[in-house]
Amino acid sequence: MSAATRRRGSLLGTLRTLLPYLWPRNNPRARFSVAAAGLALVAAKIATVMVPIAYSRAVDALAPKGASAVIVLPVAMILAYGLLRIGASSFGELRDALFAAVQQRAVRTVALETFRHLHRLSLRFHLERQTGALGRVIDRGTDGIESVLRLAVFNVLPTLFEVLLVTLVLWRVFDWRFASITLLAVGSYLAFTVGFTGVRLRIRRTMNETDNEAKNKALDSLINHETVKYFGNEEHEARKFDESLARYERAAVRSQVTLNVLNTGQAIIVAVGLAAVMLLAAEGVRAGTMTVGKFVLVNTYLLQLYQPLNFLGFVYREIRQGLLDMEQMFQLLDAPIDIRDRPSARALSPPERLAGRIEFEDVRFGYRPEREILRGLSFTVAAGGTLGIVGPTGSGKSTITRLVFRFYDPTGGRILIDGADIREVTQASLRAAIGIVPQDTVLFNDTIGYNIAYGRPGASEAEIERAARLARIHDFVRRLPEGYATRVGERGLKLSGGEKQRVAIARTLLRNPRILILDEATSALDTGTEREISAALSGLERGRTTLIIAHRLSTVVEADEILVLDLGQVVERGTHAELLAAGGLYARMWAMQAIEGEELPLAEHAA
């Protein structure tokens, strides 16, 4: 566990982590707003504490001094009372208005930083996490920031400041007994609230965990709804979801019961403190040492404190819960970035100036130390050349793609592009030079035009249509009622496999990369669609360094060289004709696919 993680592991540490966002560097305007909001807070509470004094003096002025006394209307005190109430409300609203921009900017900054950090994390991190859980952590974390800033700045600090002022006034106007009872009541209230809230926070953690679990199961089930229907497992999914809901239900009931106990205890403490001070004040009036106005003053102060104190329990719980939610989000920020640009990293040459030569030099890699996938892999793809990579399932073909994109770093050896080790160049420049058409094309739940333009955000409509024509999908899109504005649905499910592949090809054409990777781009298609896609891909490959990872051997027939992998090693290499003539693993795979009807007859390509 990192030092930062340990530091943020406590709630106070989480709060310290938030403070720089509240008092941002190089932003004098935000700092001025915070300072001005603080002054408005002080002014509002001073006005609030002065209100009962003006009220009590007005009461004393109206109280008759004798049987024949003439009551003098205390106009000044009544006007002062009204002005002080206006001031307390106005300064409070001014405080909120000044702090609103700072609060929202802090929420935005933390959320954006977390989002960017998640995208910087390696593929390994995301494969080990559930996307729904990450979304929930960010949602609750940003909500927690809003709660903490709003409640701590607008409620806790003002209330504590008001308690201090009221205590000083009671001591000054009356005696130490009034101040002591008030402080004792407030201290007991806070101690009881803090202690009991610790118990409730453990229940809150359980609620968060079960809520995450339920939402993840629901999301995973709905994303894979076709698979659920294929196997008729709707009730199975419902039972799994209900088990999580049942655990959440039990935690939620415990949370509510403990809340009721907490509220009852708080009410008892406040009531006892209020009764004790009122008895002292009543005794003073009876003995003639206190006026009715001062009795009203004590009563008003305590009633005025009662409301924020009663609310303070709720505020404290919400702040603790908000800090807990923030803690989880800040832990995401502490997640280590496995793949980083080195301090000395330089940009790879722009795609238009890049030759595109790829070299693997004795590359070794395993997703786990105990299981090596690639075992000393070496090959070269000449600039503008085409290399086909085939082999049985699990031979390491797709791992090569992830290493070229630098989603992972090899555990041994080097990968070079135009002689530069890809670990020595920036990831952004590396990926800008590479385009991919994957086997499983996942599209955003947006329009066809948006998904094509994703290859180069900001592309013009004419450029999008040109890429679609080259990918042979423009005519299909034009026949749709909404054309390029047609939404493709979640993960592109409204389109067929061939249509999604054409969108992927158009997206890559628009990107215009120097290096092209076709990762089993036609393996899931029927023969007719495959031929159409292959024709589009042939135009995409022209003039680019191309790496074709294939299950269907017909897609690599024209490659300059073909590598046959088995258990992470090259067991054969050569052209299609050479490999057939060798009669090895490639020839056996070709013959098997020919028998299954997936390839042309052996003799047709053997000549």
Q: Is 414 helix (H, G, I), strand (E, B) or coil?
A: strand
pLDDT bucket at 378, cuts 50 / 70 / 90:
very high
176-223 vs 157-173: helix axis angle to the nearest 10? Answer: 170
pLDDT of residue 197: 73
pLDDT tens-digit map of 53-87: 787 777 777 765 554 444 556 777 788 878 888 88
Topology classification of domain 351-433+513-606: Rossmann fold (3.40.50)
Contact between 96 and 153 under an 8 Å Cβ cutoff? The reply is no
- Candidates 1.20.1560.10, 3.30.499.10, 3.40.50.300, 1.10.10.10; CATH matching 3-334: 1.20.1560.10
Q: Is 400 helix (H, G, I), strand (E, B) or coil?
A: helix
pLDDT higher at 329 or 434:
434
pLDDT tens-digit map of 570-596: 999 999 999 999 988 999 988 887 776
| Contact partners, residue 592, CB within 8 Å, separation at least 6 | none
| Residue matched to tokens 């190089």 | 26
pLDDT tens-digit map of 453-484: 988 888 899 999 988 888 888 888 999 888 89
pLDDT of residue 561: 92
pLDDT higher at 577 or 130:
577
Q: Angle at Cα 278 formed by Cα 287 and Cα 83, nearest 5°?
A: 105
Average pLDDT on 278-296 reads: 77
Number of neighbouring beta carbons within 10 Å of residue 259: 17
Please provide the average confidence, as pLDDT, over all residues in the chain: 80
Res. 281: pLDDT tops 90: no
Question: With pLDDT > 90 as the criterion, what percentage of the chain qualifies?
Answer: 11
pLDDT tens-digit map of 2-35: 434 434 445 566 667 777 777 777 778 878 888 8
Residue span(s) of the chain under CATH 1.20.1560.10 come to 3-334
pLDDT bucket at 417, cuts 50 / 70 / 90:
very high
Res. 558: pLDDT tops 90: no
Supply the Cα-derived Rg of the chain in whole angstroms: 36
State pTM to two decimals.
0.62
Residue span(s) of the chain under CATH 3.40.50.300 come to 351-433+513-606, 444-512
Res. 257: pLDDT tops 80: yes
Contact between 426 and 461 under an 8 Å Cβ cutoff? The reply is no
**Rounded CA gap, 148 and 316, in Å?**
9
- Residue 155 has, within 13 A of its CA and on its CB side, a CA count of 19
CATH superfamily of 444-512: P-loop containing nucleotide triphosphate hydrolases (3.40.50.300)
Sheet holding 412-417, edge to edge: 374-381, 358-365, 412-417, 420-421
| Contact partners, residue 89, CB within 8 Å, separation at least 6 | 44
Q: Which of 177-181, 323-327, 352-356, 506-510 has the lowest mean pLDDT?
A: 323-327
